[in-house]
Amino acid sequence: MKPMLAAFAATALIAVGAYFALNEIAPFSSADRQTGDAVRLD
Amino acid sequence: MNVRLFAFLFAILLGSAASAQDAPEEAAPADRSATGGAQTLEDILRRQEGLPVEDRSGAPAGEAPVSSDQLGTLGGASDSDLWRELRYDTADVTSQIRGPATTTLIQDSGMAWTQFREGPLATYGGYLLLGTIVALFLFYMIRGKIRVYGKKSGQRVTRFKAFERFSHWLLAGSFILLGITGLITLFGRMTIGLFANNPAAYDTAREIYAFIALYSKWVHNNVSWAFMLALIFVFVLWVWHNLPDRTDFKWIAQGGGIIGNAHPPAKKFNFGQKMIFWSVIVLGGSISASGLSLLFPFELPMFAATFDKINAVGVPGWFGFAPLPTDLAPHQEMQLAQAWHAIVSFVLMAIIIAHIYIGSVGMEGAYDAMGSGEVSVEWAEQHHSIWAEKELTMPRKAPASAGATPAE
């Protein structure tokens, strides 16, 4: 039972980690990638 | 062309020759010399009647013959030439917008993709999942639960170690989340359409769906990494035990013991489990590849290169199709990646539903293997006799305390 719960916790952890890590590494979304320097989205 | 392409992808996976027969008839080559390659009145009339129209104009883009000796502001070219070049993505377009595919101003394959996604994909995909559930229900009604027969000794044997179970549940948990959020993404808008006759309920449904869709996308994109990681773990852990061997023939000859009470001898994994394993690895790997292509838009195009290799082998000809297109617009690559991602996912979901059935309500004692990691000796001997014999005759590791001299 413990490995199952640990796996579910790891799934959540990996998802959150991936979200922040990918944002940190580089802009990957189409909105970010196709925006010129002169365009501000925020 | 694209509808036929999507139909081809669908036919490969479902092994359906019918899809090939349903493909629209080829339009006859049109004589467009009178219009300099542009569409004719016959083309317009055929289109209005819903008949196929030869897609491309007679003249290659950029080389349309001059239909008038008098030169206008565009020289010998016309607006039609320009639009045609844009239409077929051959115009020399420059853009100050960064990023891939920004110079493709028009691509017309989006409608075929949308129609495929909302039509055959959703329809046959939905039927496949519902059909699998109904078939399993009927099987359960007829066959009942596969019981462990004989007197139970209470003795247990370790079937899967902790890391094996962790990897399995990492894969299972992430796949279920990905499956649910994927289905929400595909069927969500169709579902709220059911409320179209009631404006108030429709608005509420749209608000609720917008919220669910937003978080479904987040979950789908980010949980995918857990799935891919678990896929690697599971492959490394179990690939050795899932290589084919001669016990598989006996398992196949006895139908896996699904009908009747026969229990063909098996090692750690029987042939049925090996089929599940390789389905997960191959289909899961393919879903991951197309998923990565979707996660990083336009960065990982893979269909043109794949089609090129498939054409070289001659696969489309086996099904009566023309060679697959290898000159794909960036957006077409994305559309094909999405279509393939969804088709393969539906097939894998159906397989996994069957796997969940046999691992839970379908077979007594099966869940314990992934729950506690231990199964009864009787279960092991009946379902995996060769593996059980090896495990039970193997010398046991003595408990850490046995024979140890207590420290003083």
Q: Looking at this predicted complex, what is its ipTM?
A: 0.82
Residues in chain B: 408
Distances (CA, A) of A4 to B162, B169, B179: 9, 5, 19
**Is the Cβ pair A34, B229 closer than 8 Å?**
no
Question: What pLDDT does B262 receive?
Answer: 74
Distance in angstroms (rounded) separating the CA atoms of residues A32 and A42: 11
CA distance B226 to chain A (A): 6
- Which residues in chain A land under pLDDT 70? 27-42
Taking phi over 0 as left and psi of -120 to 50 as alpha, with beta for the rest, B127 belongs to alpha
Q: What is the pLDDT of residue B125?
A: 96
Q: Do residues B183 and B242 lie in contact, with contact meaning Cβ atoms separated by under 8 Å? A: no
B116 with B339: CB under 8 angstroms? yes
The pLDDT of residue B173 is 96
Chain A: which residues have CB within 8 Å of chain B?
A: 1-4, 6-8, 10-11, 14-16, 18-19, 28-30, 33-36
Pairwise CB contact (< 8 Å): B166 & A10 = yes
Contact B233, A3 (CB under 8 A): no
Consecutive 10-residue averages of pLDDT for chain B (408 residues): 58 44 53 72 82 62 52 66 79 77 81 92 96 96 87 88 96 97 93 88 92 94 96 96 91 78 84 95 97 90 93 93 89 94 97 95 91 91 89 64 43
The Cα B303–Cα B301 span in angstroms is 6
- B243 φψ region: left (φ > 0), alpha (ψ -120 to 50), beta (else): beta
- Residue whose structure tokens are 């922040």: A20
Candidates A11, A20, A41: best to mutate against B (most CBs of B within 10 A) is A11
Dihedral sign (CA B114, B5, B319, B52): positive
The pLDDT score that the predictor gives to residue B266 is 87
Taking an 8 Å cut-off on Cβ atoms, the answer to whether A11 and B170 are in contact is yes
